Structure 1
Amino acid sequence: MSHKVFDVIIVGGGPSGASCAIKLADANLKVALLEKALFPRDKTCGDALSVDVVNQVKILSPVLEQQFAEMSNKIASYGVKIVAPNQKHVDIPFIHKGNKSFGYISPRLDFDNLLFQHAKALPTIDTFENCTVTKVATNSSGVTVDTNLGSFSAKLVIGADGAHSVVQKHLGDIQVEKDHYCAGLRVYYENVASFHEENFIELHYFNEILPGYLWVFPLAGNKANVGIGVLSSVVSKHKLNLKDVLQKLINNHPHLKERFKDARPLETVKGYGLPLGSKKRNISGERFLLTGDAAALIDPFTGEGIANAIRSGRVAADHAIRCFEQQQFSAAFNKAYDKEIYRRMWGELKISRLLQQLVRYPWAFNFAVKRAQESKYIQQFLIDALSNIEKKKKILFKPGFYLSMLFR
């Protein structure tokens, strides 16, 4: 079989891999982007694209920003509805810098394809679809990647191949830990009733799945993305059959069954795993970097991972360029990548872990939502928390905030 030589090999063409390739396109490096599927391909996900995702797309490329603006199969979402275990809820609009803001909801089939096709069209990026990686190995002179299309070699490999990363499996040391891993299900529906007029995404928290939640996200064309995400430790402890839990809640819960009485599933239930960014890991080593889900950078509270995937792809590209500038590919040199990733992301991931721990307790969650309904101060905090990480840090770690929860 053939053997191809590159400077950088990116394994995985999802948001982190495609973003990394886009950032490397002008670096005067030979870059191979290997993808096991043929795009467009589905990705089991909630399909919500946060305000941060939109901003990351803008940073990547003005052309890509315009292509995203013209992408038809998406709808704008102007906020989130959080439903506590006692079924009281609070609506939180998206506000950015004092102005009304919005994210989008779009099937990953379309969004991921947009990023991949943009990367594929770049003349300095060689893409290989239907390319299944079977082995990744390093040696003193480089890294070798064996695939069904032949072998590839390079100075550096970037693992952007998701939760079940082959690069991580062969070169890394990240273990599946049930308290830092989430099990999820998704099913597309049509004719789900009674969405917010501004397409708020919905997070429904129930006692039996805390700190997880059931989500209902509106989509274009009278469709909806419906799913459930629960910590693997909770699934194991209570021996939950998530498919049964999801269907029972949809069919029987008073606040859901009326909305779903005329709804029809458009597919069988799809399952997936989410490696959560609730602890720091080693995400690089000798001649390799990990990005996105392969680096376990998913928000432990919301389950959102797309923005951090794109961001980590950008950071990985910047670090790769420095590797070649200094001809340094060692584990020690690549530790700078880990430091930069966590410098940018750990503050928010740590707070999300704290919030995840807090919502384990139904009484606390019910109380917090009740206070949010009553207090403009708490409502403003929640708005700020969704748009301003620095403000969220300052408020959450101030004892006075918790006093205000009681008395304001």
Structure 2
Amino acid sequence: MQAQKFDVLIVGAGPAGAACAIKLANTGLAVALLDKATFPRDKTCGDALSVDVVNQLAMLSDKLATEFSALAAKVPSYGVKIFAPNHQHVDIPFFHKNQKSCGYICQRLDFDNLLFQHLKEYKNIQVIENCTVEQVLPQADGLLAKTNRGEFTANIIVGADGAHSVVAKHLGPIKVEKDHYSAGLRVYYEGVTSFHDDNYIELHFFKDILPGYLWVFPLPDNKANVGIGVLSEVVSEKKLNLKEVLQKLLQTTPNLQERFKDARPLETVKGYGLPLGSKPRNISGERFLLTGDAASLIDPFSGEGIGNAIRSGRVAAEHILNCFEHQNFSAEFNRAYDKEIYRRMWKELKVSHSLQKLCRYPWLFNFVVKKGNQSKYLKQFLIEALANVEIKRLLTKPGFYYRMLFK
């Protein structure tokens, strides 16, 4: 059977792959988007969509942004409730450009399917489901992808296939490093009570799992996304059984046990890995680019990855157009992609990594939350820090804590 020929192969139809394909729509390039699943499909995740994610949808397509606005299966969230290890909390509303704003909680089953169905509108994009890429091989004039549904060739391939990327495995140098990787669990519940009136997402930090946290995010129909994410090196060092840790915290923590007393899990606990963007990596090479989780672009502090996945897909599409314009797909030419990714993202990833390291100290966390509730100035500072990386950077400076202590 002869290989099917395309200009671009994108492996993975999640947010990164879908964003890349949408930005290549109507460009005249023949694009194949391959995914091992059949949509709609679940994706183990916290399901939180930041303000950044919502804003980027309009950058992809006005129609897509309108379709998202009309999507019923989402809950608007207007802030975050952060619980310190001593169980005290501070409420921080979301702002964007000094205006009250909102993110959403939307199951990936629904969000990813929205992106996936939108893709079908474009004639130059061929979407192939139930297509597992088994091997990627370089050729003299391109790449060959061997799948369970035949062979595909292209000038360039985009790895948008997540934490265990086949593209990265066969072509890229990225390896799992426990100090730059987190283990995550998720389980859907119904019957969880006492959410904030504005559906604030909740991040619960506990001494034994720092710098990780337990999350509780409200969903439609009286449901909730509940999970835990812990740095892999902490899991190894403390020999943690995360399923047991999650259940124990839900059952014994004062501000959680009453709310989960009559709650019912709707599934077995699902596990997944989070490759963190806490160090720069080589994310391209001869005829390939890595995006999203495959490129390890998850925020090291918050664990959020969808925004950077979409952004990396957009940047990849822009770079691919340059590749075809110059007819250059070399590793050297593709270094411009790495440079642009980190130009846009590294500042925030670096700050988040610094905050992740500070979160190892429970007393410091307790102190900041306490002061955040006592000081209007600090509360406003925390609100602005959520939306502004330059302000957030101050949280990593010793002088900031000195001023909090003595002023």
TM-score by length of 2: 0.98
Give the Cα–Cα distance (whole angstroms) in 1 for the partners of residues 77 and 395 of structure 2: 26
Shift of 1:10: 0.3
Give the Cα–Cα distance (whole angstroms) in 2 for the partners of residues 97 and 400 of structure 1: 26
SS across alignment from 2:134:
strand
Give the Cα–Cα distance (whole angstroms) in 1 for the partners of residues 208 and 330 of structure 2: 46
> Can you list the C-alpha shifts for 1:263-302, whole angstroms capped at 9, x where unaligned?
0000000000000000011000000000000000000000
Identity %: 70
Give the Cα–Cα distance (whole angstroms) in 1 for the partners of residues 150 and 2 of structure 2: 5
> Can you list the C-alpha shifts for 1:131-185, whole angstroms capped at 9, x where unaligned?
0000001123101100011000010000000000000000001110000000000
Contact 1:144 1:154 in 2 (8 A): yes
The gaps in structure 2 that reach 5 residues or longer are: none
Shift >4 Å, 4+ stretches: 397-400
Give the Cα–Cα distance (whole angstroms) in 2 for the partners of residues 369 and 59 of structure 1: 35
Give the Cα–Cα distance (whole angstroms) in 1 for the partners of residues 195 and 398 of structure 2: 37
Contact 2:26 2:122 in 1 (8 A): no
Q: How does 1:357-396 map to 2 (within 5 A)?
A: 357-393=357-393, 395-396=394-395
Contact 2:44 2:271 in 1 (8 A): yes
Give the Cα–Cα distance (whole angstroms) in 2 for the partners of residues 233 and 400 of structure 1: 29
Contact 2:351 2:389 in 1 (8 A): no
> Can you list the C-alpha shifts for 1:71-96, whole angstroms capped at 9, x where unaligned?
00001000000000001110000011
> Can you list the C-alpha shifts for 1:231-281, whole angstroms capped at 9, x where unaligned?
000000000000000001111222211000110000000000000000011
Give the Cα–Cα distance (whole angstroms) in 1 for the partners of residues 326 and 237 of structure 2: 49
Matched to 1:294, the amino acid is A
2:404 maps to: 405
1:168 maps to: 168
Matched to 2:156, the amino acid is L
Give the Cα–Cα distance (whole angstroms) in 1 for the partners of residues 227 and 396 of structure 2: 32
Shift of 1:188: 0.3
The gaps in structure 1 that reach 5 residues or longer are: none
Matched to 1:402, the amino acid is Y
Aligned residues: 407
Give the Cα–Cα distance (whole angstroms) in 2 for the partners of residues 398 and 81 of structure 1: 23
Give the Cα–Cα distance (whole angstroms) in 2 for the partners of residues 2 and 189 of structure 1: 48
> Can you list the C-alpha shifts for 1:312-334, whole angstroms capped at 9, x where unaligned?
00000000000000011110000
Matched to 2:264, the amino acid is R
1:60 maps to: 60
For the aligned residue pairs, the C-alpha RMSD in angstroms reads 1.0
2:347 maps to: 347
> Can you list the C-alpha shifts for 1:328-359, whole angstroms capped at 9, x where unaligned?
11100000000000000000000000000000
Q: 1:98 to 1:166 in 2, by over 3 A?
A: same
> Can you list the C-alpha shifts for 1:7-62, whole angstroms capped at 9, x where unaligned?
00000000000000000012210100001000000000000000000011111100
Shift of 1:392: 2.5
Greater mean deviation of Cα atoms: 235-244 or 247-256? 247-256
Give the Cα–Cα distance (whole angstroms) in 1 for the partners of residues 211 and 179 of structure 2: 11
Question: Does residue 140 of structure 2 align to residue 140 of structure 1?
Answer: yes
Contact 1:2 1:149 in 2 (8 A): no
Give the Cα–Cα distance (whole angstroms) in 2 for the partners of residues 148 and 401 of structure 1: 56
